Structure 1
């Protein structure tokens, strides 16, 4: 039995090749738009940002509107109106009438008058589409409103009125491209909806493994080896940066393009081969953790002007100097922007969150030890611990922070400040910037210290009995400590 549908299969095959992982959406869209298939009156195309809604729709309409082989005319014409380019509702109406007149090559397109209301829009579109006798009975016109849910100054009846146009104009199909439609959006029943879901990880890798995203072959490497390395590299970038930096396909493509030269530097230098993906990933792990590689304008590295000793640099396999990179990362943001008192309090808060209170007297009391304490980590090996603690496999600095009382953090700050300042280069600065209350308020406003308990964490900042929790991790606090010449790990009890 022959099919009643006459979809241009060769055209669809070309589109599916151009837009991988969107074959189901392309076939459904062509079926609902092609005049000799199953054309509909209204269609809602929805999905999140950068899922191919607008691009696939525009490309499909362009191919479907091409002239037929047996005649110079086509079965379909279309016009696309982008709401982002329309300032007001009146601007949208006049842009719609002008786009339809241009698509039909209307002789009087330059004389289209003012269109300020929905009623005037209906009259103008009816005059353009209903009384045009130049096309056969199968001819249809597709009117696309791209991003119509974000139209500024739109009346509440805009979408239902636009959906009623197809009832007055039989050969009209209206497409609404939206982000998240509501169930009663058009006030019209039985409106088909076509969903463009977000890309999954295998789909991301498939798309990035095709032109124009694939890179040129690396030196001393075949094209197939470069393609295989690029495929595994794209998957690694997706796992590392998908949520914070590349939630969309363009974002992931930009991240891969920025990291690819640094990732393949050891291959170009001849240190590693393209097949040694694990070694390349370990050598480039710092680039996957540094936001400045993707967005250089967000954080600017600046070296301190104090007399701290700069660590010696060692050259890695990819040509980068690990000592200089680590020094630059450790002196960014918090290590350079926070005043000395705030930095000392932040380190004290980290120690209060990750050390048990029973160890405070042993670590921070000079009377108990008989000498100035350094090396809390080694001290923990001689401290009596329970049987359960002996079998703990995870380092304390890798566990989540615990809540502490504000009085305990200030006590740790007072006990350690004299030693840390004497060993560092900030002894003359702490005496000037000695407002502990202001430093605590600053850390709380930056969410580096988080108040826990109570109604939403509200209350007096300097309440001695208030409970807090440090809001930074180990990598950040290690950089803050090293900027003052303090190895925080020596003060942690394992």
Structure 2
């Protein structure tokens, strides 16, 4: 065994994976098969690989498949990095193989191409992934590929029949592994035992909503000054953990409410903590109106109309759509009919029953009507359907039936009226005149 492989590398919770990598990836001879590394987000895949290659001084080329979003960019990036030239033109895979053989002809050490976010390769031409898997055979060089992804290998299979690589799974961290890694961030002014106790208490609050290592470390570092403040003020000692915990408990619950959102930066959060501490107030990040304003700035115009249409569909009966969304010539009788419908259903207010589900066709009908009435005619295209998917991913809508039900999907609107009013005001739209419960009776 090589001398560089005799040295031990320790990464908390990843000793079995490092042992497997150590037996496969060598500096002199590349692995005869490709390596497929998979695991959930925040499981230490990229970090462990980076530590491994740096520790054993093995040549590697990191390829980010998000930045290099097509095959030509990947080919040109590899050749330009190996030849140390800025501008390289690679038109096809044959030219790439030829230039790769030329650039690696006099290299004795093995080199590994590490594809981060490798699941993006599935969206490229079918032969791209196959060519990289068989790259060692095609180029006849001392080379091998390492694929890093969150997907399973079964999701990469195609009709071309891909050779199976060596699979290495990175499981999620256990509680003890998470605490051991979080304790490594101990500040200089604090003892390791106190910081470990603090991380354990913080984990008990966040573990039901979050098991992501990066987010837990971020929250631990962000809120530790508030936990340690009584010691700096001389009001408590490190042994009085209960008093220290009481000082930070309210701040952690507020941070839990905005988990993952990153609504303010770490520096602003610390300044907000200091300001609230000086005035004796609890930390509040932002109100629902401010949250609505933030979403207003992020949502496209048609997404706002789609959200309004979804809210109307959730809080109005489908029977009233025909009379509610009529042209101007029928508006005189429409109000009388709606008032009668309101009196009839007075006891079954939608605000007591909650939002109802609606079909995609009904959503698009209401959306088309309110857009054409306020803006201009619109043609439904794929971008509208993509925006509906985005609203679902943002948690503003939810699909109530199975996700694979593409014939007639059903949705439900999850926002409240105050939130939607902020959306409506940003586009000068009066949403209450389309809600049956708010139509005035004269």
TM-score above 0.5, yes or no = yes
Partner of 1:215: 187
Partner Cα distance (1:122, 1:249) in 2: 40
The DSSP-based 3-state class of the residue aligned with 1:284 is helix
Partner of 1:313: none
Partner Cα distance (1:277, 1:206) in 2: 19
**Deviation of residue 252 (structure 1)?**
1.6
Q: Confirm or deny that 1:333 pairs with 2:288.
A: yes
Partner of 2:430: none
Q: Confirm or deny that 1:179 pairs with 2:136.
A: no
Partner of 2:12: 20
Partner Cα distance (1:177, 1:183) in 2: 14
**Deviation of residue 232 (structure 1)?**
1.4
Q: Confirm or deny that 1:282 pairs with 2:246.
A: yes
- Alignment CA distance shift 1:178-1:270 (3 Å): same
- Alignment CA distance shift 1:320-1:236 (3 Å): farther
- Match for 2:71 among 80, 89, 111? 89
The DSSP-based 3-state class of the residue aligned with 1:194 is strand
- Alignment CA distance shift 1:288-1:112 (3 Å): closer
The equivalences for 1:64-103 within 5 A come to 64-65=56-57, 77-102=59-84
Structure ID, larger Rg: 1
Partner Cα distance (1:325, 1:78) in 2: 50
Partner Cα distance (1:171, 1:190) in 2: 20
Partner of 1:266: 230
In the alignment, is the contact (CA less than 8 A) between 1:81 and 1:99 conserved in 2? Answer: no
The equivalences for 1:73-472 within 5 A come to 77-102=59-84, 110=85, 113-129=88-104, 131-132=105-106, 135=108, 139-151=109-121, 154-168=124-138, 169=140, 171-183=142-154, 185=156, 187-210=161-184, 213-218=185-190, 226-242=191-207, 244=209, 247-291=211-255, 295=262, 297=264, 324-325=281-282, 332-333=287-288, 406=348
Q: Confirm or deny that 1:48 pairs with 2:40.
A: yes
TM-score by length of 1: 0.51
**Deviation of residue 235 (structure 1)?**
1.8
- Over the residues paired in the alignment, what is the CA RMSD in angstroms? 4.4
In the alignment, is the contact (CA less than 8 A) between 2:118 and 2:148 conserved in 1? Answer: yes
Q: Tell me the alpha carbon deviations over residues 221-252 of structure 1, each in whole angstroms, 9 at most, x when there is no partner.
A: xxxxx3212101112222223455x5432322
Q: Tell me the alpha carbon deviations over residues 301-334 of structure 1, each in whole angstroms, 9 at most, x when there is no partner.
A: xxxxxxxxxxxxxxxxx96766x439x69x9437
**Deviation of residue 297 (structure 1)?**
3.5
Partner Cα distance (2:86, 2:194) in 1: 59
In the alignment, is the contact (CA less than 8 A) between 2:133 and 2:163 conserved in 1? Answer: no
* Range with bigger deviation, 233-242 or 253-262: 233-242
Partner of 1:439: none
The DSSP-based 3-state class of the residue aligned with 2:153 is coil
Q: Tell me the alpha carbon deviations over residues 334-392 of structure 1, each in whole angstroms, 9 at most, x when there is no partner.
A: 7999xxxxxxxxxxxxxxxxxxxxxxxxxxxxxxxxxxxxxxxxxxxxxxxxxxxxxxx
The DSSP-based 3-state class of the residue aligned with 1:85 is coil
Partner Cα distance (2:213, 2:148) in 1: 19
The DSSP-based 3-state class of the residue aligned with 1:287 is helix
Structure 1 alignment gaps of length 5 or more: 66-75, 103-109, 219-225, 299-317, 338-404, 411-446, 462-469, 472-494
- Alignment CA distance shift 1:251-1:409 (3 Å): closer
- Alignment CA distance shift 1:154-1:229 (3 Å): same
- Alignment CA distance shift 1:258-1:64 (3 Å): closer
In the alignment, is the contact (CA less than 8 A) between 1:7 and 1:36 conserved in 2? Answer: no
- Alignment CA distance shift 1:408-1:26 (3 Å): closer
Partner Cα distance (1:189, 1:87) in 2: 23
TM-score by length of 2: 0.56
The DSSP-based 3-state class of the residue aligned with 1:157 is helix
Partner Cα distance (2:289, 2:221) in 1: 29
In the alignment, is the contact (CA less than 8 A) between 2:223 and 2:248 conserved in 1? Answer: no
Structure 2 alignment gaps of length 5 or more: 266-275, 293-346, 353-394, 401-408, 418-442
The DSSP-based 3-state class of the residue aligned with 2:134 is helix
The DSSP-based 3-state class of the residue aligned with 1:193 is strand
